A and B are shown apart, each in its own frame.
Chain A
């Protein structure tokens, strides 16, 4: 750069700056390249980026309260829940007006189930009130405060009003608080009662078990990859098919096979009992717990560890070991100081792959995990398909995504991401 500064910008033959001239020459090429990747780009954008953005948004989105009860929300803004008094007649009037509209549009039940996530009983409260409010006249039937409390005494409960007030903003951190076993209390965030805390434990368990699975994959895959890399390529290719064979079998079949193997009346227990190592009445519990999940998932994810390890080890020339030995290193020193450091990129790539797959795994823990071996993803699936609390599912998913990104970042800081090779 220094040689261009003292003579000014380099000019092309026609006098235009060389940089601009070059950029123009490359523009067509770049455009063509962009056209080639456009279909993939579009596909990724539509099927990957947009859903993720949507999910991130859903985890904080909370428009339903202010959209269904617009007037109530405005009236409720000045009410102080800590005063211990119910909101005034104006609020109930606004509620009646909002409910009438909502009942006509049939949106009040949806609001009910939304608020039910935060306080049980809200769903039936709204459904019940909806039926009555439908027949009211907004002018003649006023005042409404007593009437609402007549329908259900819950309307006289300050907690109900506090919940509506707390969740009236368009954006909420409620789902996230819920995801970490907290809730919105009178004075901001507070811990949930202990019998309702599950997510922190679940996140912890997911991380712990994913690490266990990654660790056991490393231990099992390393020798296999080493053998594959050191065999003549014809034998290695044949053995490689055995490694890849599980991919040709349905995931469900493989997982169910583990059920057959591990259950109390299963193959392993039968053999142990037959050998006399385990008494018939104290058969080992190896399924529907963490052990079963770890065993089954290690088996299923093992190829993802072997493949990158193998492709990295293949590039390590056997002369390195010979050189180390000729320099006076014992077999172990030669392996540990010369071979192993060169195989670390393969371990890194395999671990990232297995860990990220494991942390979001769903089917296997669902089948063999029982209650003690399920992952956070099973809980997410539950909120997506059973409880229909998509906001909470989105928040849990977002946290999972953040955890993965943080771990990836930490890995980059500690090991260095350019130390990862897939081949």
Chain B
């Protein structure tokens, strides 16, 4: 069935735009290709267009421009009920007037499936999410986590090849959320289904996905596997949005041997990797360093590396790590994180230290 023209893309957005009012674009020029079996997360702040993309894929919103293809076939004009896409909603949307078994039976009944076949599938789906004993209950008699499992089972019971999830864990408490994150990824991978997952929780995105698409302002800012996204953000937005991040602003003095020498606004000099295309000699730049990659033990720094003076403002003991707030180059919110190891120095407020880092951990991005 796979169309040879669209190579191995199972889900494909091509130049998709969406506007609700005819004046502003909610989704601007979206291009995305997903291979079969991938777990892709759309991550972004609210209003970034990620849910709109999901709704266009599900068929509840129509694209203003562009083409959405599923398995090589354009689905722009196919109504939602014929797309055969499973969906898990934010508040589960379990039908309150039906029992759990009836909820799961619904997609099978509308597909005119026989009774015995239906029962076998319902049982298999419920067992899969460990809810086998709850078939006769009503949704209101279940806890949030149990409803979540049932919603998942209902989206999977008719064996769709693509499953969409719209912030499905948003209503659960932290512990349950972490457990469900693991279960959902596990299930998706073992069944080999393609999953599009929407969330605004970056930890969720990082822990669950094969690839993450970071949305902002109606565009995908970066589409990459979680480790790349965290360690090698390609612009300031992604660097800020994913994980904790320190930024310093300055001007690029020169680019030599693949390294950019950046002069900070207070005169300090640092070495960075030039990442963003706008980083050229004389250009303004914003430099990003992860808190755990900042080093203040001189022995561990490279020979001849540039260092900066920093004043310790606050030391926070967090158990497994220490979090220290510094003033660096006029920035009061410079954070460093250090592991709680026996030989680790505990910095005291008022102390002045010298900090540095490896040039590859310091990324010069767009201003």
Contacts and interface: CB of A to CB of B under 8 A. Distances in A.
Interface of A: 317, 319-320, 322-331, 333-334, 337-338, 341-342
A328 B86 CA distance: 9
A341 B97 contact: yes
Given A325-B81, A326-B87, A330-B81, A320 B93 contact: yes
Contacts of B107: 327-329
B89 A327 contact: no
B89 A322 contact: yes
Interface string B80-101: 1111111101110101110000
Given A325-B81, A328-B84, 6 more contacts: A323-B89, A325-B79, A327-B154, A328-B111, A329-B107, A338-B95
B158 interface: yes
A338 B109 CA distance: 13
Contacts, number: 66
Contacts of A319: 89-91, 93
Given A322-B60, A323-B87, A329 B93 contact: no
A241 B79 CA distance: 36
Contacts of A329: 81, 106-107, 110
A331 to B, nearest CB: 8
Contacts of B110: 327-330, 333
Contacts of B93: 317, 319-320, 322-323
B58 interface: yes
Q: Which of B79, B80, B96, B164 has the most C-beta atoms of chain A within 10 angstroms of its own C-beta?
A: B80
A345 to B, nearest CB: 10
B60 A317 contact: no
Interface in B126-169: 154-155, 158, 164
A324 B91 contact: no
A337 B60 CA distance: 19
B106 A326 contact: no
A323 B154 CA distance: 10
B336 to A, nearest CB: 44
B87 A324 contact: no
Q: Which of A327, A329, A330 has the most C-beta atoms of chain B within 10 angstroms of its own C-beta?
A: A327
Contacts of A334: 81
Contacts of B80: 322, 325-326
A263 B55 CA distance: 54
A94 to B, nearest CB: 71
B274 to A, nearest CB: 46
A317 B87 CA distance: 16
Which range holds the interface residue count of chain B?
20 to 34
A324 to B, nearest CB: 7
Nearest to B107: A327
A342 B138 CA distance: 14
Contacts of B82: 328
B106 A342 contact: no
Contacts of A341: 97
Contacts of B86: 326-327
A368 B308 CA distance: 94
Q: Which of A322, A325, A326, A328 has the most C-beta atoms of chain B within 10 angstroms of its own C-beta?
A: A326
Interface of B: 58-60, 79-87, 89-91, 93, 95-97, 106-107, 110-111, 154-155, 158, 164
Contacts of A328: 81-82, 84, 107, 110-111, 158
B85 A326 contact: yes
Nearest to A334: B81
B46 to A, nearest CB: 17
A323 B93 CA distance: 6
30 contacts: A319-B93, A320-B93, A322-B58, A322-B60, A322-B87, A322-B89, A323-B89, A324-B106, A325-B60, A325-B80, A325-B81, A326-B85, A326-B164, A327-B107, A327-B155, A328-B81, A328-B84, A328-B107, A328-B110, A328-B111, A329-B81, A329-B106, A329-B110, A330-B81, A330-B110, A333-B110, A337-B106, A338-B106, A342-B95, A342-B97
Contacts of A342: 95-97
A132 to B, nearest CB: 77
A384 to B, nearest CB: 46
Contacts of B154: 327
A326 B58 contact: yes
B197 to A, nearest CB: 15
Contacts of A325: 59-60, 79-81
Contacts of A324: 95, 106
Given A317-B91, A319-B89, A319-B91, A327 B106 contact: yes
B333 to A, nearest CB: 40
B151 to A, nearest CB: 9
Contact of A320 (B58, B60, B95, B111): B95
Contacts of B59: 325-326
A115 B90 CA distance: 74
Contacts of B164: 326
Contact of A327 (B60, B79, B158): B158
A71 B81 CA distance: 86
Q: Which of B59, B79, B110, B158 has the most C-beta atoms of chain A within 10 angstroms of its own C-beta?
A: B110
A214 B352 CA distance: 83
Contacts of A320: 93, 95
A323 to B, nearest CB: 4
A325 B81 CA distance: 5
Contacts of B155: 326-327
Contacts of A330: 81, 110
A337 to B, nearest CB: 7
Contacts of B89: 319, 322-323
Contacts of B96: 342
Nearest to A342: B97
Contacts of A327: 81, 86, 106-107, 110, 154-155, 158
Nearest to A326: B87
A328 B106 CA distance: 9
B99 to A, nearest CB: 13
B224 to A, nearest CB: 29
Nearest to A341: B97
A185 B91 CA distance: 70
A322 B106 CA distance: 13
A330 B60 CA distance: 13
A325 B95 CA distance: 12
A326 B165 CA distance: 12
A327 B164 CA distance: 12
A323 B157 CA distance: 14
B59 to A, nearest CB: 8
Nearest to A323: B93
